[in-house]
């Protein structure tokens, strides 16, 4: 009998989410607004320590609205980490702006704050400052915000935190999502918590939250008939999905603890194998352990990253390469890139192991055995 498939990061829901969802269903609050939506926003705002939260249909929608709040317009530039998921750059393109990609640091796999500062300095001398900087919290670990905030403040450039992968993480004691003009969260099916699909914009700025709600509901004016003075979007999260999110937030500590156990198991069981190096944990914060990632030195380990993935696949185990940098993506081939060697190497050697919060000890042992079987 074949062992059940082990997925990279599947949803983990319980009777708590089921009850809240059925309660919302039975109340007939099925439309895009309702008491569960309000409660979900309040829960997340309190968790992160910000004044406002706007629940949306995706993290990409939240990033799009955050960029609009930053005043990004056609012809502008926005600094974006190259080592990220495509949504971070796609949202810039939605507005007719152009991403300028910045390399990562090997110390945390996050955007290099010193390269950001240098790029801002050079562009300031040319009178070509970007409209905004996006920092992405990679694989559940916050970017280094202290130097990023200093650099952005010096030049008057808005900072937006893409914390799609990092809910529950922290930087110097502050929660992921609480930095910059606005933070962005994702509740996609593979994230630390999920609503099946969805996201959130979080901010301390009431004006930004009000604008986001307005634009997310087709920019409808508050009158009896349908009046529109701006082009809006259909971006609001549904009340039913918000009910699922309420249950997931209640279980967040439990879900993080489960992923932390998995990360520690992998590091103990595989850490001594020559040629494997786990993603560094920066000393400036605490990750949420969303995914456990490592680098493979093929010459030392005896096999490259792709061979490991192929072998795990034959064992019915899902694993994936690290993100392919944006500057190597065909769609962004004409965009400016600052640096690039670090993020290219992370992609070439980076491996993401199954990290879901519902993994059993047997599941983890299967993953470790499969990786060890490929070693020299």
Closest CA to 99 of 121, 66, 131: 131
pLDDT tens digits, one per residue of 34-45: 999 999 999 999
Instruction: List alpha helices for the chain, DSSP H.
Output: 15-26, 35-48, 59-69, 87-94, 113-126, 145-155, 206-216, 239-250, 252-270, 298-301, 305-314, 341-349, 361-374
Which whole number is the average pLDDT over 85-102? Answer: 98
The predicted pLDDT at position 339 comes to 97
Whether 356 shows a pLDDT value over 70: the answer reads yes
The predicted pLDDT at position 319 comes to 98
All residues at 6 or more sequence positions from 353 whose CB lies less than 8 Å from its CB, including other chains: 8, 266, 291, 292, 293, 294, 319, 367, 371
The mean predicted confidence, pLDDT, of the chain is 97
pLDDT tens digits, one per residue of 129-170: 999 999 999 999 999 999 999 999 999 999 999 999 999 999
The whole-model pTM stands at 0.96
Integer Cα distance of 262 and 268 in angstroms: 10
Whether 25 shows a pLDDT value over 80: the answer reads yes
Integer Cα distance of 108 and 314 in angstroms: 31
pLDDT tens digits, one per residue of 257-314: 999 999 999 999 999 999 999 999 999 999 999 999 999 999 999 999 999 999 999 9
Whether 2 shows a pLDDT value over 90: the answer reads no
Integer Cα distance of 70 and 73 in angstroms: 9
**pLDDT range class, residue 32, cuts 50, 70, 90:** confident
Chain position carrying tokens 């999260």 = 237
Which whole number is the average pLDDT over 212-228? Answer: 93
pLDDT tens digits, one per residue of 230-246: 999 999 999 999 999 99
Whether 364 shows a pLDDT value over 80: the answer reads yes
**pLDDT range class, residue 86, cuts 50, 70, 90:** very high
Q: Which two tokens stand for residue 324?
A: 């392919």
What pairs with residue 169 in β-bridges?
none
The predicted pLDDT at position 3 comes to 86
Integer Cα distance of 36 and 198 in angstroms: 14
**pLDDT range class, residue 1, cuts 50, 70, 90:** low
The predicted pLDDT at position 160 comes to 98
């Amino acid at each position: 009998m074949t062992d059940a498939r082990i997925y990279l990061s599947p949803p983990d829901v319980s009777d708590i989410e089921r009850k809240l969802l059925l309660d919302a269903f039975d109340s007939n609050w099925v439309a895009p607004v309702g008491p569960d939506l309000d409660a979900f926003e309040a829960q997340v705002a309190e968790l992160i320590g910000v004044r406002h939260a706007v629940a949306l249909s995706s993290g990409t929608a939240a990033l799009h609205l955050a960029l609009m709040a930053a005043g990004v317009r056609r012809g502008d530039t926005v600094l974006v980490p190259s080592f990220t998921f495509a949504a971070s750059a796609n949202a810039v393109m939605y507005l007719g702006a152009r991403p300028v990609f910045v390399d990562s640091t090997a110390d945390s796999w996050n955007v290099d704050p010193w390269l950001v500062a240098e790029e801002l300095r050079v562009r300031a001398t040319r009178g070509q400052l970007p409209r905004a900087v996006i920092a992405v919290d990679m694989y559940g670990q916050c970017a280094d915000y202290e130097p990023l905030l200093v650099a952005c403040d010096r030049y008057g450039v808005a900072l937006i935190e893409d914390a799609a992968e990092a809910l529950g993480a922290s930087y110097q004691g502050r929660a992921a999502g609480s930095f910059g003009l606005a933070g962005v969260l994702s509740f996609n099916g593979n994230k630390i918590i999920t609503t099946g699909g969805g996201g959130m914009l979080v901010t301390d700025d009431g004006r930004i939250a009000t604008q986001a709600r307005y634009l997310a509901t087709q920019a409808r004016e508050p009158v009896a008939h349908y009046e529109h003075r701006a082009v809006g979007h259909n971006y609001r999260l549904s009340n039913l999905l918000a009910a699922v999110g309420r249950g997931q937030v209640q279980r967040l500590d439990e879900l993080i603890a489960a992923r932390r156990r998995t990360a520690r198991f992998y590091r103990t069981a595989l850490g001594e194998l020559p040629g494997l190096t786990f993603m560094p944990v920066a000393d400036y914060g605490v990750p949420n352990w969303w995914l456990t990632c490592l680098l493979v030195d093929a010459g030392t380990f005896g096999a490259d990253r792709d061979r490991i993935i192929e072998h795990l696949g034959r064992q019915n185990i899902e694993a994936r390469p690290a993100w392919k940098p944006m500057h190597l993506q065909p769609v962004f081939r004409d965009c400016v890139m600052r640096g690039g060697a670090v993020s290219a190497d992370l992609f070439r050697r980076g491996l993401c192991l199954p990290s879901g919060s519902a993994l059993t000890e047997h599941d983890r042992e299967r993953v470790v055995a499969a990786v060890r079987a490929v070693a020299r």
